[in-house]
Chain A
């Protein structure tokens, strides 16, 4: 860090907070342009087949209706890299909910009525939407998401398992999950001559611009994409979604500005979901607790539209020292909606399974689960053999144990009850890779002594404006209030998306470099600055994306205390505590908020969230926030987040690791492990809802040491 300021690390208040809570911040559907109209997509009502006829006459006859687009009359698009964006291009129906038409009308209500009046006929084919571990069409892809090899193997995992004195061979099931951001996906598009202006709810406007340019055959410099405010995305807005393509199409067809605001009920089918994962874990250990073999194999689904393979076995390549290992992904293409990125893709479901299995191994060994993890800490990253740039998992576990009061725990399962409530505690580790992508930024010094930093970063609710100002102020050595940030506009210097916990590192690096250059330029100047100021620009390409000789990951430890009601099977969390080692924390306030948010997502994954694929109809049953259960306030108890300061110079100029997802990873396992400690029963399918838990409690389980009636 070359800066001399003190802004970094300070708990600076989120800059747009007031605008957001007073309604001043405009979101993508909230731009009241003159003549703006609204479009409503029509989802397919069959799970597999093709459209044979579309009758739009009744819809077009309704008041206020301007157009109905179908595959027969919609503008032709260039073939997209992401086939989920090829909307209204052909009659195929790859899954229920796929869009088959778009109604455009003056008001949202008229558009909704018109969409309902479109009559679509289908040739229906038999569908298969059911994922099973032994599905005959399961195959091993070349790569899982993010380019990870689908299979990695070293040593002799089968031999290690066969000969191990202590073995765990278990399966876990994580259901489909949905991101469900507070703001459903929405876009507003307008053409001004040959220029296209788009307001969209996306985690990365630079990529939206590139995608639209390719689809509609436009030079990028004729497109402006505004992503000023985004009401949550959690991965589901990481890449462009059909809403923005449809809005641009409809605007071109009608010559009017068009808003496409997807209804909540459409989201489960068209903006992605976390694919279900079926896990098989085989852990082999010596009597001393040292792992001799680690095998993590997963089966997941993707759609007929594209291959998307949740990289859930990848964290097993990072976590523990084992001389033999196999990590393997298999996928089944089904007639289901297309899965996509969601909240720590790969790590989140993978670490639920791995950290649950490690807890099972601790039970089998009679070892404390904290100590078992410490014992199996690797010297180097097991899969790559690279040294870690920094790894403080042991410190996180020890500090968490101290703060949580782990030493007062009676390790025996079902050893603690309060009336009908069974009480238990659990621990799990967390890991998330350090990702960083090339970005550009500009820094400008103005004659009034203030500075402007410009970068097409996106604030998805995390505080990007604020932390980038802190990076700039620190680098420039000036007070924070003298720095203004401009983000969320594709006319700004291009930058990477807000995803993979990479935003602050990627944009901050470019901001840091631009500010460093600006400081250099200012150093040689005397007298008043010109009116337009003096600026400097930086591009981190070639450096941010350079291969590192180090394995770079954030780590953490979660502790949870739960109660399980033996009458109803209801599990409630009493307290959660996380300790994270994620490099240098750049804003204590917004970082804590992200850690706690991630832990709450883990609580939801463990206890309440899940989508059910309807076998008869091929859609997800839970399609609103009344039925898809994100945790309510009453579910979220005392949640504490702490961190260990890491001084890691092998990351980026700020010394930071991403913090957006590490809080989520492992938290569901800590809760699941606490449920086992409370009940003596291993539940291996999430979420731990009363139907499953009650069945487990009444099954063959140890008798309660203390029951409801004493």
Chain B
């Protein structure tokens, strides 16, 4: 096996230094993805920088009313935290829709954002993959790709990002906080992951030597109605076929005052539905206008041979979640058994 170094960082600065010192260094959080990929030979780090003991394991309210979750907060703890459950239900729901209880107990906030695609060609060293081995080609395009991207893919890569949590963060206008040699910075959650373009080997905008220190959920979306919904092949422990996170605030006149909408499993990143959001602002919060806006968004979809189902699936999910979040325009008959 390939030997690797191990550094346990006590401070964020120490972790950043260790990461900067060796280009082949990787942060070790819960290890639920990185260690698997090391066994497969996909990840071959020189050094593991164990960030598990960094003082980043709390969820706290900041003076401006926003909520900060540290990078090493476990997914299960984040999902269960009262501030998250009460103010950002979409995030709690997204976390609980991911993986299994055991994995959520180990996985961290930062690790969740940095998990790699589940594309089977990426995981198989015997196959071409531009993300794993730039320039080798994309095995999925001609191979099996039922689970792959319909939006924003490039000729080099059709992989999707597997996170549920990241989709909710994007819809909630969260920020990802980073620290590196040049100091601290924050990136909007929906800009943290990137589209593959010519460089599918880059999943995110994180710079060499930077680590994630936390995510901040803004006061602006706190306590707005929000929800996450995921369609999958089995009831638990399955990645999304498509998912949607939505935040919706309606004015007294029944029009949309605020909307945040993001799709999961459709693209190389959580897909922020900006066209749909623009179309919806000020529009009536009705199923018809939701459907029109979502269709507008999904016009950009470019399904491949085997994944065309994702477009109507995503549409149905988005219209359903937005409709549930909107105040009832008539008695909510769909909630009763004999509607």
Q: Give the contact stretch, choosing among A139-147, A323-331, A371-379, A619-627.
A: A619-627
A569/B234 in contact, CB under 8 A: no
A632-B234, A689-B233, A690-B309 given; A708·B144 CB < 8 A: no
A568-B231, A709-B287, A709-B333 given; A612·B241 CB < 8 A: no
With a CB–CB cut-off of 8 A, which chain A residues contact B241? 689-691
Q: Give Cα A206–Cα B317 distance, bound, in whole angstroms.
A: 55
Any chain A CB within 8 A of the CB of B251? no
The smallest C-beta distance from A272 to any residue of chain B, in angstroms, reads 20
Q: Give the contact stretch, choosing among B118-126, B192-200, B207-215.
A: B118-126
A631/B234 in contact, CB under 8 A: yes
Give the total of B residues in contact with A, Cβ under 8 Å: 43
Closest chain B residue, CB of each to CB of A570: B231
Any chain A CB within 8 A of the CB of B41? yes
Partner of B139, one of A116, A616, A622: A616
A572-B235, A614-B143 given; A113·B309 CB < 8 A: no
Q: Give Cα A45–Cα B121 distance, bound, in whole angstroms.
A: 13
Partner of A615, one of B143, B309, B312, B320: B143
> Which residues in window 221-257 of B have CB below 8 A to A?
231-239, 241
> Which residues in window 604-649 of A have CB below 8 A to B?
607-608, 612, 614-617, 621-623, 626-627, 629, 631-635
A627/B120 in contact, CB under 8 A: yes
> Which residues in window 171-201 of B have CB below 8 A to A?
none
B120/A113 in contact, CB under 8 A: no
The smallest C-beta distance from A230 to any residue of chain B, in angstroms, reads 25
In the assembled complex, 25 residue pairs joining A and B whose CB atoms fall closer than 8 Å, in A order, are A109-B1, A112-B39, A116-B41, A417-B339, A568-B316, A612-B146, A616-B142, A616-B143, A617-B143, A621-B120, A626-B118, A627-B120, A629-B233, A632-B100, A632-B236, A632-B238, A635-B235, A690-B233, A694-B313, A695-B309, A695-B312, A698-B312, A708-B320, A709-B287, A709-B333
The smallest C-beta distance from A114 to any residue of chain B, in angstroms, reads 9
Q: Give Cα A622–Cα B234 distance, bound, in whole angstroms.
A: 15
- Size category of the binding interface on chain A: 35 or more
> Which residues in window 375-427 of A have CB below 8 A to B?
417-420
Q: Give Cα A630–Cα B309 distance, bound, in whole angstroms.
A: 22
- 8 A-B pairs with least C-beta separation: A710-B333, A634-B235, A634-B236, A691-B309, A45-B126, A568-B231, A710-B339, A616-B142
Closest chain B residue, CB of each to CB of A112: B1
Closest chain A residue, CB of each to CB of B236: A634
B313/A569 in contact, CB under 8 A: yes
Q: Give Cα A689–Cα B231 distance, bound, in whole angstroms.
A: 10
The smallest C-beta distance from B296 to any residue of chain A, in angstroms, reads 19
With a CB–CB cut-off of 8 A, which chain B residues contact A635? 234-236
With a CB–CB cut-off of 8 A, which chain A residues contact B120? 621-623, 627
With a CB–CB cut-off of 8 A, which chain B residues contact A612? 144, 146
Q: Give Cα A530–Cα B118 distance, bound, in whole angstroms.
A: 66
The smallest C-beta distance from A701 to any residue of chain B, in angstroms, reads 14
Q: Give Cα A8–Cα B2 distance, bound, in whole angstroms.
A: 56
Partner of B313, one of A116, A614, A632, A690: A690
Q: Give Cα A481–Cα B136 distance, bound, in whole angstroms.
A: 65
A617/B139 in contact, CB under 8 A: yes
Q: Give Cα A609–Cα B55 distance, bound, in whole angstroms.
A: 43
With a CB–CB cut-off of 8 A, which chain B residues contact A632? 100, 234-238
Any chain B CB within 8 A of the CB of A57? no
The smallest C-beta distance from B156 to any residue of chain A, in angstroms, reads 16
With a CB–CB cut-off of 8 A, which chain B residues contact A710? 333-334, 339
* A-contact 0/1 string along B326-339, CB 8 Å cutoff: 00000001111111
Q: Give Cα A692–Cα B232 distance, bound, in whole angstroms.
A: 12
* A-contact 0/1 string along B275-312, CB 8 Å cutoff: 00000000000010000000000000000000101101
Given contacts A420-B320, A694-B309, A709-B333, 7 further A-B contacts (CB under 8 A): A418-B337, A568-B317, A621-B120, A622-B120, A629-B234, A695-B309, A698-B312
Closest chain B residue, CB of each to CB of A45: B126
> Which residues in window 124-145 of B have CB below 8 A to A?
124-127, 139, 142-144
Interface centre among B2, B41, B120 (most CB of A within 10 A): B120
Q: Give Cα A419–Cα B231 distance, bound, in whole angstroms.
A: 17
The smallest C-beta distance from A442 to any residue of chain B, in angstroms, reads 45
Any chain B CB within 8 A of the CB of A110? yes
Partner of A568, one of B238, B307, B313: B313
With a CB–CB cut-off of 8 A, which chain B residues contact A110? 1
Q: Give Cα A541–Cα B19 distance, bound, in whole angstroms.
A: 70
Any chain B CB within 8 A of the CB of A162? no
Any chain B CB within 8 A of the CB of A567? yes
Closest chain A residue, CB of each to CB of B127: A617
Instruction: Give residues in A with beta carbon < 8 Å to B.
Output: 43, 45, 109-110, 112-113, 116, 417-420, 567-570, 572, 607-608, 612, 614-617, 621-623, 626-627, 629, 631-635, 687, 689-692, 694-695, 698, 706, 708-710
B313/A608 in contact, CB under 8 A: no
Closest chain B residue, CB of each to CB of A263: B39
A419/B335 in contact, CB under 8 A: yes
Q: Give Cα A567–Cα B1 distance, bound, in whole angstroms.
A: 47
Q: Give Cα A698–Cα B334 distance, bound, in whole angstroms.
A: 20
A608/B233 in contact, CB under 8 A: yes
Q: Give Cα A709–Cα B287 distance, bound, in whole angstroms.
A: 10
Closest chain B residue, CB of each to CB of A698: B312
The smallest C-beta distance from B240 to any residue of chain A, in angstroms, reads 10
The smallest C-beta distance from A158 to any residue of chain B, in angstroms, reads 37
With a CB–CB cut-off of 8 A, which chain A residues contact B146? 612, 691
Q: Give Cα A312–Cα B113 distance, bound, in whole angstroms.
A: 46
B1/A113 in contact, CB under 8 A: yes
The smallest C-beta distance from B150 to any residue of chain A, in angstroms, reads 12
With a CB–CB cut-off of 8 A, which chain A residues contact B2? 113
With a CB–CB cut-off of 8 A, which chain B residues contact A709? 287, 323, 333-334, 339
Closest chain A residue, CB of each to CB of B287: A709
B232/A570 in contact, CB under 8 A: yes
Interface centre among A570, A691, A710 (most CB of B within 10 A): A691
With a CB–CB cut-off of 8 A, which chain B residues contact A633? 236
With a CB–CB cut-off of 8 A, which chain B residues contact A614? 143-144
Q: Give Cα A105–Cα B232 distance, bound, in whole angstroms.
A: 41
* A-contact 0/1 string along B89-101, CB 8 Å cutoff: 0000000000010
* A-contact 0/1 string along B6-30, CB 8 Å cutoff: 0000000000000000000000000
Partner of A708, one of B231, B233, B310, B334: B334
With a CB–CB cut-off of 8 A, which chain B residues contact A112? 1, 39
The smallest C-beta distance from B9 to any residue of chain A, in angstroms, reads 25
Q: Give Cα A710–Cα B126 distance, bound, in whole angstroms.
A: 52
Q: Give Cα A694–Cα B337 distance, bound, in whole angstroms.
A: 22
Interface centre among A45, A113, A608, A689 (most CB of B within 10 A): A689
With a CB–CB cut-off of 8 A, which chain A residues contact B287? 709
Closest chain A residue, CB of each to CB of B238: A629
Interface centre among A110, A112, A570 (most CB of B within 10 A): A570
Q: Give Cα A419–Cα B338 distance, bound, in whole angstroms.
A: 8
Closest chain A residue, CB of each to CB of B334: A419
With a CB–CB cut-off of 8 A, which chain A residues contact B309? 690-692, 694-695
With a CB–CB cut-off of 8 A, which chain A residues contact B317? 567-568
With a CB–CB cut-off of 8 A, which chain A residues contact B307? 691
A45-B126, A615-B143, A629-B238 given; A706·B312 CB < 8 A: no
Q: Give Cα A405–Cα B146 distance, bound, in whole angstroms.
A: 39
A420/B334 in contact, CB under 8 A: yes
Interface centre among B125, B232, B235, B239 (most CB of A within 10 A): B235
The smallest C-beta distance from A504 to any residue of chain B, in angstroms, reads 32
With a CB–CB cut-off of 8 A, which chain B residues contact A570? 231-232
Q: Give Cα A708–Cα B319 distance, bound, in whole angstroms.
A: 12
Q: Give Cα A233–Cα B338 distance, bound, in whole angstroms.
A: 46
The smallest C-beta distance from A505 to any residue of chain B, in angstroms, reads 35
With a CB–CB cut-off of 8 A, which chain B residues contact A708? 320, 334
Partner of A567, one of B310, B320, B335: B320
Closest chain B residue, CB of each to CB of A110: B1
B127/A706 in contact, CB under 8 A: no
A567/B143 in contact, CB under 8 A: no
The smallest C-beta distance from A13 to any residue of chain B, in angstroms, reads 28
